[in-house]
Amino acid sequence: MADTLLQEEGADNLTEASVKPKRITKLSWKSKENFEITMEEFSVDLAHRWERTVHYMSEVTQPSQRVLQLEGALLRFKSVYETYQKLCTKYMSFLKSTNTEESLEELKRFEHLNQERSKKVSETKANVEARITQLQETASHRSTSTRHSKRSSRSSHSRSSTLSELIRARAEVEAAKVRAAFADKKAEMEAEAARKKAEMEAEAARKKAEIEVLDRKCDQATAEAKLRVLEQAVGSDLDSVSMANSEDAMERTKNYVLNQNSNFSATSEAPDDTYTPLRHQLSENIVTTQDLKPSGPSAHQDGPSSHTSPHKPQTIKYQSVNPGVNILAKLPSPLP
């Protein structure tokens, strides 16, 4: 009866799991984190329940047990397995309701694993029940034939020992498979968490580097702006000073040329009423700027007087009043 219920329950689980899934759901980061935590809790609980099932499975396959002991061990084994199956049903329902690619893939994997376990449990129960039946038959025929009973007992014992060893080996293999599967899943989750952490750290480092580069560019732009302002200010001052000096020098040169032209005109147009001896002319050849006073109207029309220049006098040779006589005069320099 219990086997029938377990088979029907397993069939119902397979029917529910084989229903066409709805549209795939894409979880948010927080929902995915909660899903992984819940799945990990289910995995740990299921592993613990299955270990208990394997323990009672090995107990019912132990040799040299009486019929009553085997029946009690079989009942405990069935009870533990029923608890495990209930938890499996909850886990598969959770995976199906989550309806993501990862949950559906895990559902498919777990269904296959659960089918293998159910098959092994069914085989174990069938073997134990057959063994109980055999022991009961052996006990009933023991009184009729001691030799036959001993031979049957030895045969049953040998067969039971072989079957027990086979079941124990299979149970160990399945347990190792379960541990390996959960270890792989755990490794994948840890690797995914490490990858996400590395991506977040890399993104933070990139943002920090961009901010530092932006600060450097801001400092550079500020310094260049200050430099341009200073260069413009210094350039304007130099241009104004250079232009003023150039204009002053040109003006003084122009005045000097005009002054000399006036002096030459005044000297050439002055009347020569008296005769001056040559020795007096030679003694009066050297005169200062103040002694040269041009006369005649052309001196006042052609340019300014030479005594207006405050600069240091400079010795310059001029043509004398009388032809052939040189006059040295001290005139101001036209240049600074």
Q: Could you report the per-residue pLDDT of 63-85, keeping only the tens digit for each?
A: 766 878 888 888 888 899 999 99
* Rounded distance between C-alpha atoms, residue 90 and residue 96, angstroms: 10
Q: Which residue do the tokens 């341009």 mark?
A: 228
Global confidence as pTM:
0.35
**DSSP calls for 60-71:** HT-SS--HHHHH
* Rounded distance between C-alpha atoms, residue 6 and residue 10, angstroms: 6
User: Which comes out higher in pLDDT, residue 143 or 203?
Assistant: 203
Residue 102: the pLDDT is: 86
Examine the pLDDT at 181 and tell me if it is beyond 80.
yes
Q: Could you report the per-residue pLDDT of 76-135, keeping only the tens digit for each?
A: 888 999 999 999 999 999 988 888 888 888 899 999 999 999 998 999 888 888 888 887
Residue 231: the pLDDT is: 84
Q: How far is CA 175 from CA 51, 55, 77, in A?
A: 7, 10, 16
Q: What's phi and psi for 109, nearest 5 deg?
A: -65, -45
* Rounded distance between C-alpha atoms, residue 179 and residue 190, angstroms: 16
User: Which comes out higher in pLDDT, residue 206 or 271?
Assistant: 206
* Rounded distance between C-alpha atoms, residue 84 and residue 77, angstroms: 11
Model confidence band, residue 237 (pLDDT cutoffs 50, 70, 90): low
Mean pLDDT estimate for the chain: 72
Residue 328: the pLDDT is: 43
Token pair for 297: 């109207």
